[in-house]
Amino acid sequence: MKVHEYQAKEIFAKHGVAVPKGRVASTPAEARAIAEELGGKVVVKAQIHAGGRGKGRLVNEDETSSMYENLTNDPDNYSGQVVGDRVGGVRLANSVDEAEQAADAILGKFLVSIQTGTAGKLVKNVLVEEQSAVANEMYLAIIMDGVEAAPLIMASTEGGQEIEEVARRDPDAIVRIPVNPAAGYESYISRTLANRLGLSGQQAVDLGVLVQSLYDASLANDASQAEINPLVVTEDGRVIALDAKFSVDDNALFRHEEVAEMRDKDEEDPLEVLAGDLGVSNFIKLDGNIGCIVNGAGLAMATMDTIKLAGGEPANFLDIGTVNDPQRVVNAIRVISEDPSVEAILVNIFGGMARVDIIAQGVIDAEKQLGLKVPVVMRLVGTNLAEGEKLLEDAGLDVIRAEGLGEAAEKVVAAAG
């Protein structure tokens, strides 16, 4: 689960990470009042779950697709600006009047950036915070590394830009330090990072405090990612988190009620929200037209690959898991049916603990409750196959059957036209 920048900074500050002074506003008047508190010179930042806000553009809802195409094909002439005529999602304001005007220009508009996709994101809030005179920009993040089975600290002197681009251009520019979970954060990490980032004296000390505080915030909240880009040294020598991204492991949210309440469902894909509400937890919306219902993450990935090899495009990833209730199958079909791009559904079940007869009954119940609006191809193998076959036969369900995965992929691609 992602949180907004202002929420991430609240979490950071709670654990001792230095952040600029500021608060969130939902109206231009609120932005003006906050700017007055901060002395007038502020930065006004759109709050959405996507990066590239400063270079993004603010448009009306019916202009998002064309603006995304312009940003993709001609960024030099279309990308937004922090100061200038092309209004981006991050604006500098040198007075309370300018702060109010900047908030008015941002709020209620759709922000389109390279990371939002064609639909853009509606801006409902802005973060108004003090301006920082930046002397140096760096990058800092803590992620959970599955390969190392440990938290991984990453840092770079090349902050303020996409770290993926830095990694492609110059992998050695990124410092990577895994943290032994048993030992926890050790002082040598701070010394190593300060040396690699070119900091010394009090700035090196401040960096160490900040990194350890960020590590504590990550551990305390079961974060999958905590990122500061840019981490800056100001002209007066402070080391502060100028930006903040924070994501929490969904499976740990039951332990973090305060963080869970920060969830903004409006920033998430509506189908993924619906899937979560219906208990279909392992669902990710994709761009294709073939819905997939599969048991097991590995088989789901293989199913999507096979669909692509057959010339089709999967509309979703869906690992239905071990199914002991036909209603879960109904709910999965309900979510997929809500996607207007879906033109056929492939049900690919290799029954082990997931019984074929439960899946078959779920598809039958979905026809009764929802009506199957698009062709359904079923490839069923495994536990209680005979019982499942009989249920389908007795129900007289109009589905397309396939023996192997390759055959199923070819049939579903054909069914989708």
DSSP-derived secondary structure for 179-231: --TTT-S-HHHHHHHHHHHT--HHHHHHHHHHHHHHHHHHHHTTEEEEEEEEE
Q: Given 100, 129, 158, 227, which residue is catalytic?
A: 227
Number of H helices, E strands in the chain: 15, 19
| Residue 227 falls in the annotated catalytic set | yes
C-alpha torsion 302→306→309→314, nearest 10? -90
Closest CA to 5 of 209, 396, 267: 267
Look up residue 167 and give its two tokens.
């990694």
Measured CA to CA, the distance from residue 165 to residue 170 in angstroms comes to 8
C-alpha torsion 320→326→329→331, nearest 10? -120
| Residue 188 falls in the annotated catalytic set | no
Q: Given 139, 158, 215, 343, which residue is catalytic?
A: 139
The CA-CA-CA angle for residues 127, 132, 133, to 5°, reads 155
Determine the residue type at 363.
V
State the catalytic residues: 139, 227
